[in-house]
Structure 1
Amino acid sequence: MRRTLLVYLVSLAAFFGPFTQTLYSPLLPELANKLQTSQDAVNLSIAIYPIFFACMQLVYGPLLDRYGRRKMLLIGFMFYVCATIGVALSDTVTQLIIFRALQAIGVAVGSVAAITIIGDLFEGKKRGRSMGIYQMLVALGPGLGPVVGGIVGQHYGVDHLFWLLFAVSLSFWLILFVGLPETWTPRVNGGQFRLRQMTAVLNHRIGLAIVVLGSVQYAVFYTLLVLLPNILIEGYDLTPSGMGWLFMPISVCIVIGSMIGGRLQEYVEAKKLLLLLAVFNMMSILLFVVTASLSISILAISLAIFGLTLGLSLPVQITILADEMPNHRASATGVYNFFRYVWMTIGPIAGTSFYRFGYKIEFLVFVLIFVVVLFFMYSRFFGRTKESRSMEA
């Protein structure tokens, strides 16, 4: 199979993770009635998913480095397919929550495997462009899930939605089985499976900076998504359908930014580019704080700029990480994803708790944290190491 087709194939495997997370969000009331339970109980089936998805990033990284990409991706994704059957057959909310957790455990392999396989297949400029394709499809997942779920659920019901997901995921697994080669070689073998592989990225000069940046960006991004409805209701008294359109600029621009960001690395050195894009992303948060209360159109523009600058930086981050840690590429990716998804959860929780102080105060605090992160990145990317200082002495 051609390498470009492989990039789309493994990126689709990663797409299933965020897509499944939000798939039945519009159908929560219908699902609560079907299972004869409360809305809060059904909401727990959504909330439990990212917790297991994040934790499994740490597990799959070393396993992919030890046992190979193809084998672990096929095993993990088949586990997800089987768990989807359990979701479709669930008669109680307890069963639904359990099988949703099992879904997350299985499908989490996709995001780690995709980045790792792309890192195996490409180097230099081609790697950056391919990472852009990956990030584009992953960014589509959480936005496309509710759209597909709402349409299918409205016309055919929530039961048919889960069985359709099973049919599609099983078909995709068969395509993986037939078309996915093994890209793991002794050159990138991480050796025996040891727990310390999972912390190697945190001890790495560049790796830690990438993890810190990604964590802060995801905390800001998901805090904004959670608080945006409240901001719109208080400031503009919008209807639910009107609010829905305000989420579009972020999603669309993240996708566009991911496509462009992968190609920008062909013209600008990756570390310099990432630092510059991180500065722009920080400034977009400040722009949101200053302009959000002026008008709906200006608010939409500020959201679009935030989404664009975030999307531009994401493929650059994972390209640098793959370049810097070739011998433990999957482990490093797993740790990176773990911290991003953890802060994706922590950020909104903290943001909701401190919302009483006003969203402008909250996001100004994020700006200050971002400034500290930028200085930390600069010192890690371009500061002198202990070895260089000792040689100069």
Structure 2
Amino acid sequence: MNKRKILLVLGLSAAIVSLGQSLYVPLLPDLQRDLHTSLSLVNLTVTLFTVAMAVMQVVLGPVVDRSGRKRILIPGMIIYVLATIGCMFSFSIDMLLVFRVIQGIGAAAVPLVAATMIGDVFEGEKRAESMATYQMILGISPAVGPLIGGLIGSVSGYTGAFGFAAASAVLIMFTALFLLPETMPTISTTTGKRKQLGLKAFGRIFQSKTGRVLLLSGFVLYDLFYTFIVFLPTILASQYNLGAATIGVFSLVLMAFNLVGSKLSGKLQTKIGSVKSLFWVSFFIVASLVIFVFAAQLSLITLLIALMLTGFVSGLAMPVMPTLLSAEFVQERATAMGVYNFVRYLGMAAAPMIGSILYPIGGTALLIGVTAAFVGVTAMATRQLLPRKSEQTA
């Protein structure tokens, strides 16, 4: 079993499927015109896809734990491909909305199974490094998706963008079919019997101190990251009167440094451990956010440097949570990953809602300051997971 090849296939599978979220975003105005619909309904096609993905994480988690990883992955990708083709040939907004929901349902299986299989295949330090590499590959998709969609859409419209998404998903699906093994643990390491999974699995996750802290950390971290994605254009336009093209460069810088941080996260976890990594990186994130508040007022250069720092340290944190969840919940691994994915999607969704309340009241200082406070709370919560001195010397 070539573990590196498995990691690459899993990372590319999740990245290609996640193109369904970002690939056609630049083409929303064209979509509105071609389907003779409203902007709100066009935006709903993005929302419904994300909601379907989020909800199905929780639904599919126990199924993956009971039935197998690959056995759920391939049907999920088939559903995604068929729904994407349906989106491609949709001639009305109602038809597109239906296929976007189905597309999200199929897509949900891929990141869930990918993170779970990485937890199955790799152990210890290799698991941390592999999760970091996976997070980096997955992060490429939202960075380049709008660019690819814009290039394809300028030639063949939104149908071409969906066609590209379907074709690339078919290629990676057949690659996964032939190269990925089934990795589900079938025997409990403690009882020698296969566990009966269901609602008890959810209870174990929420009753665990580790589970609660990691879910809180995931929610806050992705709320933080999407706060920058959503409000960075507003900050740059209002304070420095930048145009869309320049704002796009700043957003790309944020994504790029986040990917670098994600890749280096594995090395950091290997050196000091995953829990210590999350604890100390959380404080560095708070520091970077405080720096950003002041730097944003000074000059565009200081804002850019603070943005690089924030992207980098948040990238260091992102692979830590799935790494720790994989180690803590072995028999319930997919269920834990599903709950975690659902919670981080909630964090993404909460960012624009919370920000729309805070930013009009207090601008950048209040928006980023409150976010820093949230991260500070998670840092103190993470402290509970650090081994005590007596445990370290035992």
Smaller-chain TM-score range?
over 0.9
* Cα offset, 1:53, TM superposition: 1.1
* Contact kept? 2:275, 2:385, Cα under 8 Å: no
CA distance in 2, matches of 1:190, 1:274: 32
- 1:20 aligned partner: 20
CA distance in 1, matches of 2:352, 2:194: 35
CA distance in 2, matches of 1:292, 1:201: 40
- Cα deviations across residues 324-365 of structure 1 (Å, max 9, x unaligned)? 111211111111111010111012112113321122112211
Structure 1 residues 170 and 18, CA gap change in structure 2 (3 angstroms): closer
Greater displacement, 359-368 / 184-193 = 184-193
* Cα offset, 1:190, TM superposition: 6.4
- Cα deviations across residues 302-321 of structure 1 (Å, max 9, x unaligned)? 11111110111111221111
* Cα offset, 1:214, TM superposition: 1.1
Which of 202, 217, 230 is the equivalent residue of 1:198? 202
- 2:369 aligned partner: 364
CA distance in 1, matches of 2:114, 2:83: 21
* Cα offset, 1:128, TM superposition: 1.0
* Contact kept? 2:125, 2:270, Cα under 8 Å: yes
* Cα offset, 1:52, TM superposition: 1.2
Structure 1 residues 190 and 373, CA gap change in structure 2 (3 angstroms): farther
Q: How does 1:168-247 map to 2 (within 5 A)?
A: 168-187=168-187, 191-247=195-251
CA distance in 2, matches of 1:265, 1:211: 19
Q: TM-score, normalised by structure 1?
A: 0.94
* Contact kept? 1:58, 1:198, Cα under 8 Å: no
CA distance in 2, matches of 1:320, 1:149: 35
* Cα offset, 1:194, TM superposition: 1.3
CA distance in 2, matches of 1:121, 1:150: 37
CA distance in 1, matches of 2:230, 2:6: 35
CA distance in 1, matches of 2:297, 2:49: 34
Greater displacement, 124-133 / 358-367 = 358-367
* Cα offset, 1:384, TM superposition: 10
Greater displacement, 2-11 / 315-324 = 315-324
- Cα deviations across residues 244-273 of structure 1 (Å, max 9, x unaligned)? 111012100111111110122222122112
* Cα offset, 1:281, TM superposition: 1.3
Matched, 1:376 2:384: no
Matched, 1:286 2:290: yes
Which of 324, 339, 355 is the equivalent residue of 1:320? 324
Q: How does 1:82-121 map to 2 (within 5 A)?
A: 82-121=82-121
CA distance in 1, matches of 2:104, 2:199: 21
Q: Which runs of 5+ in 2 are unaligned?
A: none
In structure 2, give the amino acid aligned to 1:237.
Answer: N
- Cα deviations across residues 68-118 of structure 1 (Å, max 9, x unaligned)? 001001111111111111101111111111111111111111111111111
CA distance in 1, matches of 2:57, 2:268: 28
- 1:303 aligned partner: 307
- 1:56 aligned partner: 56
Q: How many residues align?
A: 386
CA distance in 2, matches of 1:279, 1:15: 29
* Contact kept? 2:18, 2:107, Cα under 8 Å: no
CA distance in 1, matches of 2:250, 2:214: 29
* Contact kept? 1:206, 1:381, Cα under 8 Å: no
Q: How does 1:252-291 map to 2 (within 5 A)?
A: 252-291=256-295
Q: Which runs of 5+ in 1 are unaligned?
A: 389-393
Greater displacement, 99-108 / 190-199 = 190-199
CA distance in 2, matches of 1:266, 1:187: 28
In structure 2, give the amino acid aligned to 1:315.
Answer: P
- Cα deviations across residues 270-307 of structure 1 (Å, max 9, x unaligned)? 21122111111121111111111211111111111111
CA distance in 2, matches of 1:185, 1:248: 39
- 1:139 aligned partner: 139
Matched, 1:46 2:46: yes
Q: TM-score, normalised by structure 2?
A: 0.94
Matched, 1:128 2:128: yes
CA distance in 1, matches of 2:358, 2:319: 31
